[in-house]
A and B are shown apart, each in its own frame.
Chain A
Amino acid sequence: DVKVTQSSRYLVKRTGEKVFLECVQDMDHENMFWYRQDPGLGLRLIYFSYDVKMKEKGDIPEGYSVSREKKERFSLILESASTNQTSMYLCASSDPRIQGRTEAFFGQGTRLTVV
């Protein structure tokens, strides 16, 4: 059974803290994604990685960075958390080698509250 695991379901952090959100997939997928989800806005792509140490900015990368040192792990970093980063964060992975597929497998999400 395929699995994408996010390290925390709920997280509360203080303004200005450095926050790490971890995501691990066990499917040997090349692509990994971080989205944030806010009411009425759907899922917005923060960052995307298509290989180890490779990354691309998504639609809303400001205030975030990412790290992919190993294929199975993709970390999202909030350099200095702010209240407007309170949101649901979703990690996903996909495999572009499967021609025409690209379905994404999602983790359960991390609900982050910045106070």
Chain B
Amino acid sequence: SQQGEEDPQALSIQEGENATMNCSYKTSINNLQWYRQNSGRGLVHLILIRSNEREKHSGRLRVTLDTSKKSSSLLITASRAADTASYFCALLPKTSYDKVIFGPGTSLSVIP
């Protein structure tokens, strides 16, 4: 399967703590993306990192990519209760120019 695998499947933290989610994959990629989904809603794009990039920041989000280990991490700093959601990594494999492949997701709960 070309799918990414997120780790952990579920994460519960206190408000103000940092949350780290990991994504491992097996195929070569053009880019890797992270999405967020609030309960019962569609997905919202958070950040995209290209295969030649190692780190990217967007507000409280920090994404790293290690193509040699085929892994990525999403760090949310100073978490808030409103960050409670599911987070998905999504791959754009080199063999599939346009089709984005999603992993099963990490469910994050931020306790006020």
- Contacts of A48 on B, CB cut-off 8 Å? 98-99
- Contacts of B90 on A, CB cut-off 8 Å? 104
Answer whether A108 and B30 are a contact pair too, CB < 8 Å, given A40-B104, A45-B99: no
Interface range for B: 20 to 34
- Contacts of A102 on B, CB cut-off 8 Å? 30-31, 33, 48, 92, 98, 100
Does B103 lie within 8 Å of A42, measured CB to CB? yes
Counting residue pairs across A and B whose Cβ atoms lie within 8 Å, the total is 64
Across the two chains, which residue of chain B brings its CB closest to A31?
B98
Q: Is the interface of B mostly helix, strand, loop or mixed?
A: strand
CB < 8 Å: which of B33, B45, B105 contacts A42? B105
Interface range for A: 20 to 34
CB < 8 Å: which of A43, A100, A101 contacts B102? A43
How far is it, in angstroms, between the C-alpha of A96 and the C-alpha of B97 when the chains are bound? 8
How far is it, in angstroms, between the C-alpha of A94 and the C-alpha of B100 when the chains are bound? 10
Does B73 lie at the interface of the complex (its beta carbon under 8 Å from any beta carbon of A)?
A: no
Please, could you name 23 A-B residue pairs with CB atoms under 8 Å apart, sorted by A? A35-B102, A40-B104, A42-B3, A42-B102, A42-B104, A44-B102, A56-B99, A58-B99, A88-B40, A94-B98, A94-B100, A96-B97, A96-B98, A100-B30, A101-B48, A102-B30, A102-B98, A102-B100, A103-B45, A106-B43, A106-B44, A108-B42, A109-B42
A interface residue numbers (CB < 8 A to B): 4, 31, 33, 35, 40-45, 48, 50, 56, 58, 88, 90, 92, 94, 96, 100-109, 111
